[in-house]
Amino acid sequence: MSKVINVKKIELKKLGYNDLENWLNSSTNHVYIGRNMTYYVPGAKGSKWANPFKVDKYGRDGCLQKYEEYVLSQDDLVNSLSELKGKVLGCWCHPEKCHGDILIKLIKDKYPD
């Protein structure tokens, strides 16, 4: 089952990882789903799953609604959801409401067990 975790360094250290790069390199089941932040964080290469909608512009709920609509309107993303099945998705905002939660919902909808 897929799940979302927070990839802030302090949170990853609690799980036994030094940083995001260490977490990503430790397992092929770890998938970073955030925006490009490689300037600040090694390994934080922009993901096709990144949320292009900013919370400060749309609010958290609006941002998540727009993200779900966005993913569902992109056939390539909908058809790629299987890539995330059973993976650990890494994002900066979890455990707050997060686009990772939207991806988990979409995976469950498309691939009910």
Could you report the per-residue pLDDT of 22-34, keeping only the tens digit for each?
Answer: 999 999 999 999 9
Q: How many domains is the chain partitioned into structurally?
A: 1
pTM score of the predicted model: 0.91
Domain range for 13: 3-110
Mean pLDDT of 30-58: 87
**Residues 96-113 pLDDT 10s:** 999 999 999 999 999 987
Q: How confident is the model at residue 45 (pLDDT cuts 50, 70, 90)?
A: confident
Token pair 């707050």 is at which residue? 96
